[in-house]
Structure 1
Amino acid sequence: MRVTNRLMADTVLSSLYKNTQQLLKLQEMVSSEKRINRPSDDPIGMGKILDYRKMLSSIDQYNTNIIRGKTQIDLTESCLEAIDDLVLKARRIAVEQSAGELENRPTAAQEVKNIYDQILQLANTKLRDTYILSGHQTDTAPFSRDSDYNATYNGDDGDIRIIVGDNLDIKINVTGEDALRSGVDVFDSLRDLINGLEDPDTSAGTAQIATQVAPLSNALDQIKAVRSEAASTFIQLETTENQLAKFKLNVEDMLSDTEDADMAQAIVELQVQKTAYETSLATAAKILQRSLMDFLR
């Protein structure tokens, strides 16, 4: 077979083109520090990369949900702790006044009214633009009262749940019904205590005051039970958060192993390819120049 000048030129140009493509690929690998920059580099590897990135995106969303849940539970705990202290204070007043300290009753009545309104204000706490104790009615203040200290619950018993894993969701809210009305109605007990303290019939008033000591004690137990449940949920969220952090590191390692280039090896290969490219370029220049001279002769 006769080797023509055209065939030699085509062969040289094809080799030069391949060397150029390989050089560009290695240059991109070194600059991006990625072994795979497009599906054509490694179709199977790119499939794994997309799966790992999807996992990492899901983990980030789970972590965002957990932070939101922990924030809400932390705020709820602070409110319930303050309410717990106020109910305890009201119970102490009831115990003291049931002993018949008549001269202090107007002051005690006003103090209990203040406690009532403080608890009402705490129960209506908002996290950003949402009421935390209203169930699903997050745009509605959970409690209101009339001039006679009759409280109304305006929320519902809806659970607010967050997704923290595949097929795993956790309740993060406490409703005002659960905390303040599920067994003992805290507001009713405080109202009855106020009425007893303001009753002009001191004997009847003393009896009514005494009957609120036990309900207020039960209210304390009721609030503590809700706080305990919220604390358990907080711990569960922290445990899940720690597990996700470990899982994320594993996924990031797998992504790196699949996607990232071995920089030392890539740099060596780039230098070798540069030499091959320069050699091909020099060879092509000689052959093409010779072919052109032959043509001119």
Structure 2
Amino acid sequence: MRITSRMLMKNMLNNLSRNNQRLAHVSAQLATGKRINKPSDDPGDVVRSLRVRTEVNEIKQYRKNIDTARSILEYSDELLDKIGQAVHRAMELSVQALNDTYDGTQRQMIAGEVNGILEDILLNSNTTFANRYIFAGTYTEKPFVEVRENGWITEVNFVGNQHPKPFEMGIGQTMDTGMKGEDIFAPLFTGLINLRNGLNGGNREDIEQGYSDVKAAFENLLVERADLGARLNQLELTAERMAAAEFNLVRLQSDVEDVDMYEAVMKLKDIEALHQASLNVTARIIQPTLVDYLR
């Protein structure tokens, strides 16, 4: 087969073009720090990378949900703690009022303080967090509505619901951030109203009954707080698991996508040396011309 100068030049140019492409590919890897910059770089690992990226994004969203749920539950726990302290104070006052040394006027003064506790708990029962009522279930309006006579609360009605408010914590895993408002507050309001009325009337039996009602409501409140604490503990365990999963997936993503800088630099040096050698050989081959032979 006859090798012409045209064939020789075409072959050399093709080789130079391939070297330039390899040089550009490795340079792009070094510039971006990524081994895969377009699907054709490694089709198999591109699919793998997309799957890992999807899982990482899902876990990041789950962790955001966990943070939101934690904030709601922690704020609810703080409220219940504050309410529990107020109820405990009401119980202490009722025990004082049962002392025979207290007269009607002193008991009426205690009734005024108990009424203040009732007003404060009503205010807390309608607390919002992130523009949502904590103790309303899925109801979007104020869940507790009071009835008054001469400025005094005589009844508190629950108009919300106790439907769960779930947050996605993971695949197939949810956490209810709702609180059973009616179960928590209905006994409290009834007990405090009865206690206040008994103190105002000065009737010992009514005071004792009011105290018993408030004590039972307080014990129920402790049960609800225990359930809330269990949910917070479960949330912490889920958060730790998700953090570990995200760390491992991000590391896997790095293994799939990121370039080995040391290997890439060495490869770049080899390609540059090869490319320079190709240019030198090409320059030697195309140097002779007809004028050179006529000399």
Give the Cα separation in 2 of the matches to 1:163 and 1:175. 20
Give the Cα separation in 1 of the matches to 2:234 and 2:32. 40
Give the partner amino acid of 1:286. R
Range with bigger deviation, 28-37 or 283-292: 283-292
Give the Cα separation in 2 of the matches to 1:276 and 1:22. 11
With over 3 angstroms needed to count, the CA separation of the structure-2 counterparts of 1:291 and 1:163, relative to structure 1, is farther
Give the Cα separation in 2 of the matches to 1:40 and 1:213. 77
Deviations 1:168-198 (A, max 9, x none): 11112213113223xxx21111111222222
Match of 1:11 in 2: 11
Q: CA shift at 1:206, angstroms? A: 2.2
Whether contact under 8 Å (2:198, 2:210) holds in the other structure is no
Kindly report the root-mean-square deviation, in angstroms, between the aligned alpha carbons of the 2 structures. 1.9
Whether contact under 8 Å (1:180, 1:186) holds in the other structure is yes
Q: CA shift at 1:98, angstroms? A: 3.1
Match of 2:66 in 1: 66
Match of 1:225 in 2: 223
Match of 1:168 in 2: 173
Gap regions ≥5 residues in structure 1: none
Give the Cα separation in 2 of the matches to 1:227 and 1:128. 21
Q: 2:133 aligns with which of 126, 131, 142?
A: 131
Q: CA shift at 1:295, angstroms? A: 11
Give the partner amino acid of 1:160. K
Match of 1:92 in 2: 92
Match of 1:177 in 2: 182
Deviations 1:213-253 (A, max 9, x none): 21111111111111111111111111111111111121122
Match of 2:284 in 1: 286
Deviations 1:57-115 (A, max 9, x none): 01111110010011011100010011111111112222222344223122111101100
3-state SS in 2 of match to 1:146 = strand
With over 3 angstroms needed to count, the CA separation of the structure-2 counterparts of 1:13 and 1:293, relative to structure 1, is farther
Range with bigger deviation, 274-283 or 26-35: 274-283
1:269 aligns with 2:270: no
Whether contact under 8 Å (1:135, 1:157) holds in the other structure is yes
With over 3 angstroms needed to count, the CA separation of the structure-2 counterparts of 1:296 and 1:134, relative to structure 1, is farther
Give the Cα separation in 1 of the matches to 2:274 and 2:266. 12
Give the Cα separation in 1 of the matches to 2:122 and 2:37. 59
1:186 aligns with 2:188: yes
Give the partner amino acid of 2:50. L
3-state SS in 1 of match to 2:175 = strand
Question: 5 Å matches for 1:14-93?
Answer: 14-93=14-93
Q: 2:156 aligns with which of 112, 133, 151?
A: 151
Question: 5 Å matches for 1:240-279?
Answer: 240-279=238-277
Whether contact under 8 Å (2:110, 2:199) holds in the other structure is yes
Give the Cα separation in 2 of the matches to 1:146 and 1:248. 52
Equivalent pairs counted in the alignment come to 289
With over 3 angstroms needed to count, the CA separation of the structure-2 counterparts of 1:112 and 1:291, relative to structure 1, is farther
Give the Cα separation in 1 of the matches to 2:9 and 2:74. 76
Give the Cα separation in 1 of the matches to 2:183 and 2:174. 20
Whether contact under 8 Å (2:156, 2:189) holds in the other structure is yes
Give the Cα separation in 2 of the matches to 1:220 and 1:117. 17
Match of 1:122 in 2: 124
Higher relative contact order (CA 8 A, sep 6+): 1
3-state SS in 2 of match to 1:152 = strand
Q: State TM-score, norm by structure 2.
A: 0.92
Give the partner amino acid of 1:283. V
Q: CA shift at 1:128, angstroms? A: 2.5
Whether contact under 8 Å (2:166, 2:175) holds in the other structure is yes
With over 3 angstroms needed to count, the CA separation of the structure-2 counterparts of 1:122 and 1:292, relative to structure 1, is farther
